[in-house]
Structure formats: structure tokens, C-alpha cells
Structure 1
Amino acid sequence: MDEQARESLTHKRIAVAGVSRSGASAANVILIKLRDPGHDVFPVNPNATELEGMACYRDIPSIPGGVDGVVTVTTPQVTEEIVHQCAAKGVRRLWIHRAMGSSLSEKTVEMSRESGIEVGCPMMFQAPVDIGHRCMKWWFRLTGALPS
């Protein structure tokens, strides 16, 4: 899993779904954390045209040139729709936010795998790794939720 996450972070074009107009969401933090080291990031929010000083897109298919991966910080129901969009656009990497109010559900993981989409969370590996993600990585390894 570590290698898969690190390999995923070598891709340049990453969409972040669930970026908030208020700027106060985990998706906004992830967007900035991925943008700062040089990824081409694309905020996705159907209710905005610009967020964090960047053009914002209503969905994955509307991003010109496509993306290599998608981070979703949305409800499980919205994440299910994003899985469909990723499958239709040939996106093979989906990173589902797993904290409180998680985007993760068994159904989204199953749908992703059936569509050939890799699921994971690269934020546990994107340097500098914050204390929250270090703790989650440790806990997921301890409990077996993070495959070796």
C-alpha cells in the first residue's frame, strides 16, 4: 500500500472533490497540500466557478484534459457518483477521505474495485505528513486496515 500511495503521488493532474466555498474543509487543505509541491490540482464543487484562486469544475468530466486521480471529501452518496464519473473517464485512482464524516462506504469501495479503480489515501504519505495522518497510518497498520 505504501508503494501504491507513493506511486499515485507521482501523478500530476489531481481533482479534489468537495472543496468548500467557505474554505473551511479538509478538501481545501488537501487541495493546497497537493498544489504546493507542484501537482496540477482541480477543485470540484458543482456550486462554484472559482475556489482557492483556481477555476472550479462542477464534476470530473468537465475538467479539460482529464485527471490522473481524484481525492474525494464528500458524502458517501456523492462519492458513489464520483466513482461512476471516474469509471466513465478512465480515472484509475480514487482517494477517499476516511476521517470523521467519511466519504468511505463499503459500497463505494466495492464499486471502485469492480470498475478497476484503485482506492487509498495518499495523504498518509504526502510529505510533510501531518500528525493526524501519521496517527491514522499507525492505527490502520496496527488494526490491519492498511494493507502491507
Structure 2
Amino acid sequence: MPASVSSATMIDRPRRTGARTMLIIDDEASVAQTLGRAAEECGWRPRLTATGEAFRAAYRAEPPAVVIIDLALVGTDGIEILKFLAQEKSESLVLIASGFDRRVVEAAMRFGTEIGLDIGGALTKPVLVEDLKCALAAAGR
């Protein structure tokens, strides 16, 4: 099991938007559904996507306050999603959910920050519902 990168790395800052919308991209339906249910329990309105194309369309239709990105996706990867968000000049808080080694996740977080994204932290897969709830509570402040 890779080393844990917890939601304790969350950056505590006010959100630019009052909308409690969230966009999740994860090609594992059970993971996306678990994240979505936990988000709903915290008062968020999640939208679930499984492909890069669906994510891009959903993002453009309604930019969310929070984005949760899996780094390993079929047909694309989380880095491509980060690049897309930067091209869109996203103001969404970005959380990375991954089972990759801590160093890989930290590198992805640094890359996201370097390209101008608001990287709020990481969630280690399998994501514990309590970790997600803590991360969302911090994002909702």
C-alpha cells in the first residue's frame, strides 16, 4: 500500500464561489459513487464523470467549486485533466484522489500549482469517507 497523503494537506482558504458544486472524474464507478454519496452527505452537489470527454463537457456546462481527479484514467490521465483545467483558467479547488505512491501524487500537486491551479490536497485511494468529509468541510469554509 502506498504511503498516505491525507486531506490534512488541505489549504485553508475561502472559496471564490458560494456554489457547493463538485465534479468528480474517476473511471471506477463504485469509487465515483462513494465519493458522490459522501459529498452529498456534506451538502455538496456532485456530478460524476468517467471519461475525459464527459468531464470536459460537464466542466464547460457548469464550472464547479471543487474538482476531484483520479490520476489513473482509461483513455486519458489526471495530468491531462489538470492541463485542461489550466487552459480553462479554472478557479475550482482541485483535490487529487489516487492510489499512486505519495511521491507521484505530490509531483502531480506541484505540477497543478505550477500551472496556476488551486490545488487543495490529496486523498489516498481507497478514499476514506471521513477523509473526504474533512477535505470538503475545509473547502466549504
Q: TM-score, normalised by structure 2?
A: 0.60
Q: Which residue of 2 aligns with 1:126?
A: 133
Could you list the runs of 5+ residues in structure 1 that have no partner in the other structure? 48-56, 130-148
Task: Say if 1:125 and 1:45 are closer, same or farther in 2 by CA, change over 3 A.
Answer: closer
Question: What one-letter code is carried by the residue in structure 2 that aligns with 1:40?
Answer: R
Q: CA–CA distance in 2 between the matches of 1:118 and 1:90?
A: 10
Q: CA–CA distance in 2 between the matches of 1:3 and 1:97?
A: 13
Task: Say if 1:6 and 1:102 are closer, same or farther in 2 by CA, change over 3 A.
Answer: farther
How many corresponding residue pairs?
115
CA contact (8 A) 1:61 1:89 kept: no
Q: CA–CA distance in 2 between the matches of 1:29 and 1:15?
A: 13
CA contact (8 A) 1:69 1:91 kept: no
Structure with larger RCO (C-alpha < 8 A, sep 6+): 2
Q: CA–CA distance in 1 between the matches of 2:94 and 2:37?
A: 18
- How far the C-alpha of 1:61 sits from its partner, in A, is 4.2
Q: 2:58 aligns with which of 62, 71, 75?
A: 62
Could you list the runs of 5+ residues in structure 2 that have no partner in the other structure? 1-7, 124-129, 137-141
**RMSD value, Cα:** 3.6
Query: Deviation per CA, 1:4-32, whole angstroms, max 9, x where unpaired?
Result: 35756x751111110534x2x2x331121
Q: Which residue of 2 aligns with 1:96?
A: 96
Where in structure 2 are the equivalents of 1:133-148 lying within 5 Å? none
Q: Is 2:45 the partner of 1:40? A: yes
Q: Is 2:26 the partner of 1:18? A: yes
- How far the C-alpha of 1:118 sits from its partner, in A, is 2.5
Q: Which residue of 1 aligns with 2:126?
A: none
Which has the greater radius of gyration? 1
Where in structure 2 are the equivalents of 1:79-94 lying within 5 Å? 79-92=78-91, 93-94=93-94
Task: Say if 1:38 and 1:60 are closer, same or farther in 2 by CA, change over 3 A.
Answer: farther
Q: TM-score, normalised by structure 1?
A: 0.58
Identity rate of aligned residues, in percent? 11
CA contact (8 A) 2:25 2:51 kept: no
- How far the C-alpha of 1:115 sits from its partner, in A, is 1.9
CA contact (8 A) 1:19 1:28 kept: no
- How far the C-alpha of 1:68 sits from its partner, in A, is 1.7
Q: CA–CA distance in 1 between the matches of 2:33 and 2:12?
A: 20
CA contact (8 A) 1:5 1:125 kept: no
Q: CA–CA distance in 1 between the matches of 2:13 and 2:42?
A: 14
